[in-house]
Structure 1
Amino acid sequence: MPVPVLAGRQRPGAAGPLEAVLFDRDGTLVADVPYNGDPALVEPMPGARAALDAVRARGLAVGVVSNQSGVARGLLSSAQVAAVREEVEGRLGPFGVWAVCPHGPGDGCGCRKPAPGLILAACASLGVSPARAAVVGDIGADVDAARAAGARGVLVPTPVTRSEEVAAAPEYAGDLPGAVRLLLCGPGDGEGAV
């Protein structure tokens, strides 16, 4: 299902308090299983449920923004992507929005990260300005998409994250609970909050 690409960009800054946190799916919320269409292979990342519960407890909206090029490549069906989504929600709780790009890298869409389309569409669905949203992901494309949309980006490196992506990230944390602490409390604050 294509994600609408919204026109316009907002720059981050003094736009007000955080209202939403958007998470990448694979490698951030759940273990990265390439082109996963099997709900039985869904394995939450360490601390994912606690991190999401902390965000929800603050009354912030939560959503997922995920490239799923396996659909364009013929490796996944939309029904398989939906089945994995249902399993993720069953394991990690409900999300206010799922914005999924089914296009391939060469399709030239405006939604595939690092383009801002997924973030803009998720924010529109949640009724939140991108300047009041944060995106948490495991690769540079997640942070770049956040920046392009005018949202805050936090990188949570994994073994597949390239060193230059870490160096370029304006903010990063060692794990998902650390990223949420950074967003909710700021650097060095709130130890043990998640």
Structure 2
Amino acid sequence: MKLLILDRDGTLNRSRDDHVASADEWEALPGALEAVARLNQGGWRVVIATNQSGLGRGLFDVASLNAIHTKMHRQLAAAGARVEAVFFCPHAPEDACHCRKPEPGLFEQIGDRFGIPLEAVPVAGNALRHVQAGATAGCPPHLLLTGKSEYLRGHANGDGVLSEPVPGLPEGTRLHEDLSAFADWLLAQPEATT
């Protein structure tokens, strides 16, 4: 099985400083849904791992989160794409849980649920904490230069490697302009190198 773990906000949809708290606020990034469709067509099963501390902070409820994901799944389906599952951490930062990224708990849950070693599961997201959590769990990390990581545009060489170190970025992290560029790269790789 080819499994891939994506972040949600800033990777698949536009991120907001005040949280995506309703279905009306969820807006797919250009080309992101089509990128998931291409990945699916290439045999990749896509799972989302996302921090949703707005739940723990009382900014929105589970019904609102479900409405957001219903909208996301409908738009993905309309683009010919599918996300297998959404794993989320509902805790606020002060809860000090094991599932809030950069902790690896969500990734470990995914590995357990799908019965797959995480060393074979690439992770891609726009936040350092997403790639940190994935790398800690043993996943090959990929940073997308969208949302929180846009400031790194122009700092990668032609091979998708940073020209200078970034504090906190796991060693071996590959950089991609966006989800579409990551999908293109991943689909062009021999299976043994992902």
Say whether the fold is shared (TM-score over 0.5): yes
Q: How does 1:97-136 map to 2 (within 5 A)?
A: 97-136=85-124
Is contact 1:21-1:55 (8 Å) kept? no
**Identity, % of aligned pairs?**
29
2:33 matched to 1:31?
A: no
CA deviation map 1:29-66 (0-9, x unaligned)? 00113322211222111111221011111222111100
Q: 1:74 to 1:104 in 2, by over 3 A?
A: same
Query: Which residue among 85, 88, 92 is the counterpart of 2:72?
Result: 88
Tell me if the contact between 2:10 and 2:147 (Cα under 8 Å) persists in the aligned partners: no
Q: CA deviation at 1:86?
A: 0.8
Is the 8 Å Cα contact of residues 97 and 125 (structure 1) preserved in structure 2?
no
Could you tell me how far 1:155 is from its partner in structure 2?
Answer: 0.6
| Separation in 2, partners of 1:85, 1:59 | 22
Give, in whole Å, the separation in 1 of the partners of 2:68 and 2:44: 24
Cα-to-partner distance string for 1:137-186 (whole Å, 9 max, x where unaligned): 00111110110111111111225326536965610101111111222224
Distance apart, 1:89 and its partner CA: 0.7
Instruction: Write the mapping of 1:1-194 to structure 2, written as runs, cut at 5 A.
Output: 19-33=2-16, 34-93=18-77, 94-161=82-149, 163=152, 164=166, 170-186=173-189
Q: 1:153 to 1:80 in 2, by over 3 A?
A: same
Using the TM superposition, give the Cα deviation of residue 128 of structure 1 relative to its aligned residue in structure 2, in angstroms: 2.2
Give the unaligned 5+ runs of structure 2.
Answer: 153-165
Structure 1 counterpart SS, 2:96? coil
The answer to which structure, 1 or 2, has the higher relative contact order (CA under 8 A, 6+ apart) is: 1
Identify, as 1 or 2, the structure richer in helix: 2
Give the letter for the 2:97 counterpart: C
Q: Superposition RMSD on alpha carbons, in Å?
A: 2.1
Q: Distance in 2 between matches of 1:130 and 1:68?
A: 22
Length-normalised TM-score, structure 1: 0.80
Give the residue type in structure 2 aligned to 1:118.
Answer: L
Structure 1 unmatched ranges of 5 or more: 1-17, 188-194
